[in-house]
Amino acid sequence: MNLQMETVRHRETLIVRLSGELDHHTADLVRMRMDEEIGREGCRNLLLSLKSLQFMDSSGLGVILGRYKLIKQKGGKMVVSDVNPPVFRLLEMSGLFKIMSIYENESSALSELEVAL
Amino acid sequence: MKENSSNFMTLQFAAKSENESFARVTVAAFVSQLDPTMDEITDLKTVVSEAVTNSIIHGYEENSEGVVTISAWIEEDTITLLIEDKGRGIEDLELAKQPLYTSKPELERSGMGFTIMENFMDEFDVASEVGGGTSIRMKKRIVSKKALYN
């Protein structure tokens, strides 16, 4: 499969690093694995780190919006970081930045999330 | 040196999600003869991915016996794509084209497929017949890189 996913917990924040290509074919697995982690105790916020994500289409947007709803229900915050230009364009066009903050890197995203606690 | 020339290709494959990346990579390879920029390649890969995914999810409802056909023509500096299926077809095209509208919210579809195709291409046209299938025709002029040479 042309998508790799790494998850790390940092206090109440789940960091998900995606690399490769997020499309309809790879979306189901990403969705399942993320929901499993989000469901764990003490997980409140979600940081989606997209440094090595080479490609994404509207199936990926669906996954992001779905996780946003889940995190919001839990009273947490969802943010993205390290977005490269092709993915940025898609996120911008879809209006995602109206509901989600974007950060240059993981550490600036994490410090923002911790201030928000 | 590139001459004014035309070219075409046709690609047929099973309506399986594994073939989504195959389809977009193949179209990207075909269009490379026009010297596109990275942005232009990304645009084309994205719209191919959207159209093929629509055929698989909506046209054939994930029945992999379905067949998706992609035809591509190059005419001077313009690429035309025709992406066709013989699936269920779309009942209400105007509704389907609305941003954020999806007929399958339970699958967490974003409803942005047609909006992306309209935005990333110069021309975009859908024809659909209920029970007969859907075909999407799109055009894009590949310009950016050539501007550097002039």
Q: Which CATH number is A110's domain given?
A: 3.30.750.24
Q: Rounded to a whole number, what is the distance in Å from the CA of A58 to chain B's nearest CA?
A: 6
Using alpha carbons, select from B58, B51, B68 the residue that is nearest to residue B16.
Answer: B68
Contact A86 B49 (CB under 8 A): no
The dihedral formed by the CA atoms of B52, A55, A19 and B111, expressed in degrees to the nearest 10:
-60
Contact A57 B116 (CB under 8 A): yes
Q: Are the C-beta atoms of A94 and B120 separated by less than 8 Å?
A: no
Q: Rounded to a whole number, what is the distance in Å from the CA of A77 to chain B's nearest CA?
A: 20
Average pLDDT, chain B: 93
Catalytic residue among B20, B40, B50, B84: B50
Angle at A65 between CA A28 and CA A74, to 5 degrees: 100
Contact B115 A93 (CB under 8 A): yes
Q: Which residues form the domain of A70? A: 3-116
Q: Report d(CA B131, CA B41) in Å as an integer.
A: 33
Which residues are CB-neighbours of B14 under 8 A, at least 6 positions away?
Answer: B64, B65, B66, B67, B68
* Helix B38-54 / helix B19-31 crossing angle, nearest 10 deg: 140
Question: In the annotation, is B91 catalytic?
Answer: no
Q: What is the pLDDT of residue B146?
A: 63
Asked whether the predicted pLDDT for residue B1 surpasses 70, the reply is no
Q: What is the pLDDT of residue A23?
A: 97
Q: Residue A38 burial by CB count (10 A; 0-12/13-18/19+): exposed, middle or buried?
A: buried
The pLDDT tens digits for B113-150 are 999 999 999 999 999 999 999 999 999 999 866 666 55
* Helix A58-73 / helix A24-38 crossing angle, nearest 10 deg: 10
Complex ipTM value: 0.91
**Considering its fold, how many domains does chain A have in total?**
1
Angle at B27 between CA B25 and CA B33, to 5 degrees: 110
The pair of structure tokens assigned to B62 is 């994930």
Strand ranges (DSSP E) for chain A?
Answer: 3-10, 13-22, 45-56, 78-81, 101-103
Contact A62 B50 (CB under 8 A): no
- On whether any CB of chain A is under 8 Å from the CB of B18, the answer is yes
Q: Report chain A residues whose CB lies below 8 A from the CB of B53.
A: 23-24, 57-59
Q: Return per-residue pLDDT of chain A as tens, 117 residues.
A: 689 999 999 999 999 999 999 999 999 999 999 999 999 999 999 999 999 999 999 999 999 999 999 999 999 999 999 999 999 999 998 889 999 999 999 999 999 998 755
The dihedral formed by the CA atoms of B136, B104, B14 and A57, expressed in degrees to the nearest 10:
70
Global pTM? Answer: 0.93
The pLDDT tens digits for B22-68 are 999 999 999 999 999 999 999 999 999 999 999 999 999 999 999 99
Interface of A with B (CB under 8 A): 2, 21, 23-25, 27, 31, 55, 57-59, 61-63, 65-66, 85-86, 89-90, 93-94
Q: What is the pLDDT of residue A1?
A: 63
